[in-house]
Amino acid sequence: MPRFAANLTMMFNEHAFLDRFQAAADAGFEAVEFLFPYDHPAELVADKLQRAGLSQALFNMPPGNWHAGERGLAAVAGREAEFRASVDTALGYAKIIGSPLLHVMAGLADRRDPAAMTRYLDALQFAVDATEDAGVGLVIEPINGRDMPGYFLDDFDVALDIVRKIDRPSLRLQFDIYHRQILHGDVIMALRSMMPWIAHIQVASVPKRNEPGTGELNDALIFSEIDALGYDGFVGCEYRPAGTTEDGLSWLKAW
């Protein structure tokens, strides 16, 4: 059975953010992930995590001005200094919270623009150099353009090529089954071929991004495949509950 992590940005929204940790533990989760902790002191987030007896699976580096529509900085022109500072901020939080992984968001830029690709590769190289010695791994995630129009990294093969090009053990793929299905389909074959480069998996139904088992994919078969492939990381439940979080957890009880 995969080890599932509750995504506290999407799940348990019945509670204030800092109360979602205990709610996730009470619902049976052993780990959590979320987009961003930066509105709260790292020590407070760490305290909530520890009191609830949870592990942190990952969180994202600062994305720029999220509310103004920014979705990361790594490939964005003119934001290089801010990106480097954000690596420092994220690493500081990761050390205190105890997160083994950080998601580096690319931002809105044209992947076919050679200058943007060079900027992105340079940013990833910088981030790997800055975090590797601390034992904090990095992941990059292809995201579909329907949910995030204009996002730089919108192709799984391109993402894998980038990971292979940087060629450092601490840079890996975040394989979100929801994005994979929307972008390319062929989920199980992609899991099989990309598994050596995958450090984090996420799941949601397609197309509504609700609970697993409620969309067009056979999620039970995919979870069996993830097990069969020997994946020992977390599968982040990055879905929007169709009703209350609790009412929607029957799929998890089956596992």
Ligand X SMILES: O=C(O)C(=O)[C@@H](O)CO
Where does this chain bind Mg ion (CB under 5 A)?
Answer: 176, 202, 238
Is the CB of residue 127 less than 8 Å from the CB of residue 136? Answer: no
- Which residue is catalytic, options 14, 30, 238, 246? 238
Is the CB of residue 63 less than 8 Å from the CB of residue 71? Answer: yes
Could you tell me how many residues make up the chain?
255
Shortest distance (Å) from residue 14 CB to Mg ion? 22
CA–CA distances in Å: residue 249 to residues 20, 88, 206: 15, 36, 17
> Is 14 annotated in the active site?
no
> Is 211 annotated in the active site?
no
Nearby residues of 16 by Cβ (< 8 Å), 6 or more positions away: none
- Which residues in the 171-200 window bind ligand X by CB under 6 A? 176, 179
Is the CB of residue 75 less than 8 Å from the CB of residue 120? Answer: yes
With CB under 5 to 8 Å by kind, the binding choice for 60 among Mg ion, ligand X, none is ligand X
With CB under 5 to 8 Å by kind, the binding choice for 188 among ligand X, Mg ion, none is none
Nearby residues of 68 by Cβ (< 8 Å), 6 or more positions away: none
Shortest distance (Å) from residue 28 CB to Mg ion? 22
When asked if residue 103 is in the footprint of ligand X (CB under 6 A), the reply is: yes
Shortest distance (Å) from residue 103 CB to ligand X? 5
| Positions in the binding site for ligand X (CB under 6 A) | 35, 60, 103, 141, 143, 176, 179, 202, 238
